[in-house]
């Protein structure tokens, strides 16, 4: 598992990939994956890293790290995963534009935060 994640360029090093497996950030077919687990074509992996959460289907196997174009041929990301990552990125950009108060947010600040996150429709 850690070798495939490294070859598919989800992590910079195999050690980071193995650590993510140990922390439970990687699941294969809805089961927690260990670093030594074999990856098979057709497996559905859920990968959480600093770039976001990916849900991918394994299309190919590789144990060597190649160019990024070759790494992208090893998997296919689901449409739901792409949409969720785009929404999270838009939310992060919107929150960056919002000036974070120094202390605890007051009622007006909480309403603005909830509106930016799409939780409250009114106001």
Q: Please indicate, yes or no, whether residues 29 and 69 belong to a single structural domain of this protein.
A: yes
Q: Are both 12 and 51 inside the same structural domain?
A: yes
Rounded to whole angstroms, how far apart are CA atoms 100 and 91? 14
Q: Kindly report, residue by residue over 88-116, the tens digit of the pLDDT.
A: 888 888 877 766 667 888 898 888 888 88
pLDDT at 34: 92
Helix (H, G, I), strand (E, B) or coil at 75: strand
Q: How many domains does the chain have?
A: 2
Tokens of 8: 């598919």
Rounded CA-CA distance 20/95 in Å is 27
Predicted confidence (pLDDT) at residue 123 exceeds the cutoff of 60: no
- Bridge-based pairing of strands 26-28 and 75-77 is unpaired
Listed residue (84, 90, 71) closest to 11, CA to CA: 71
Whether 64 and 90 map to the same domain: the answer is no
Domain that holds residue 116: 79-123
């Amino acid at each position: 598992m850690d070798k495939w994640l490294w070859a598919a360029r989800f992590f910079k090093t195999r050690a980071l990939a193995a650590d993510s497996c140990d922390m439970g950030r990687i699941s294969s077919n809805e089961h927690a994956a260990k670093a030594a687990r074999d990856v098979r074509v057709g497996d559905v992996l859920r990968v959480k890293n600093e770039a976001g959460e990916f849900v991918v289907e394994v299309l190919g196997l590789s144990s060597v790290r190649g160019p990024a174009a070759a790494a992208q041929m090893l998997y296919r990301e689901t449409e739901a995963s792409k949409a969720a990552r785009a929404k999270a990125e838009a939310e992060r950009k919107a929150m960056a534009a919002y000036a974070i108060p120094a202390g605890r947010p007051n009622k007006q600040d909480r309403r603005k935060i909830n509106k930016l996150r799409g939780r409250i429709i009114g106001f």
